[in-house]
Amino acid sequence: MIELKDGFQGEQILVLPKLIVDAMEADPLLSRLHITDIGYFPKALHHRRERKVPINQFVFIYCIDGDGWYRVGEHTYTVTANQYFILPAGVPHAYGTSETTPWTIYWIHFKGEMAPYYAKDIVYPMDLCPSDSSRISDRIGLFEEMFMILKSGYSSENLLYVSSLFHYFLGSLRCVQQYRNASNRTTESDTVERAIHYMKENMEKHVSLQDLAALTGYSPSYFSAMFRQKTGHSPSAYSNLLKIQYACSLLDTTDMKINQICYKVGIGDMFYFSRLFSKIMGMSPKEYRRSKKG
């Protein structure tokens, strides 16, 4: 497990008990691939971990924002947003965030007979840049599903389902180009749809009008007018609608704290998030969650 003195606001961590890990290693299916630790660290300032004594787990880290670094043996690599890597088991390593632009990461420790095959040649930083046909939001959804299922309990059905999802998760990363080609849709050639897709793929970041204009090749003013004509909203207003829509989904389907959810939708200020949520939904996040439990 990654050890923290103070933790990070909005973090999520789950460590499977040794009893459960031992049982998975003895199971003919789960022994092929299983998760031992899983977590999410937003804006993880001062995050650093060094293991001089190797561990017997592979470590998957996916950086969605900010920058960081990692070292395997004598080699040190730089990591930027939209890159992932896998640290091999049995090898000393270290990793940490940039002190100026702290990273936001999803991370998983995993083991199993298939683990070395999924990790092969992924010691280098691998790019997962948003594009017209990328599925970054889908993968984040898979991560959230695995996390919440494990959090709900360690039944055989839960463990087997998470293992199956994890096979798919890692497989889609190894075959990212084929995965993207399978998702091409004619609607994504539309400029506004491309911009909306980009917003969804970067849900945990602030996407500016300049970012969207550069993506589509139009001037900010022309793109903004075109977007408003198509959707009835400015790009920033539409982005906020998507963020609150996603926040509602998390409030409906998870027990994540509100200060965790605001980071998941790319808003670092919980008070601003609550004001925006109330403006759009007509009630606070707490009131919304209570209304769904009635």
Query: What domains lie within the chain, and their CATH numbers?
Result: 12-181 (2.60.120.280), 187-292 (1.10.10.60)
- Write down the pLDDT at residue 217: 85
Per-residue tens of pLDDT for the chain, all 294 residues = 333 334 557 788 999 999 999 999 999 999 999 999 999 999 999 999 999 999 999 999 999 999 999 999 889 999 999 999 999 999 999 999 999 999 999 999 999 999 999 998 888 899 887 666 566 777 888 999 999 999 999 999 999 999 999 999 998 888 764 445 444 443 334 888 889 989 998 998 889 999 998 888 888 988 998 898 888 999 999 999 999 999 998 998 888 899 999 999 999 899 999 999 999 999 999 999 988 765
- Write down the pLDDT at residue 294: 54
- Write down the pLDDT at residue 158: 95
**What is the pTM assigned to this prediction?**
0.71
- Write down the pLDDT at residue 186: 38
Distance of CA 7 to the CA centre of its chain: 18
Cα separation values, 113 from 139, 148, 172, 263, Å: 23, 25, 19, 35
- Rounded to whole angstroms, the Cα distance separating 285 from 276 reads 10
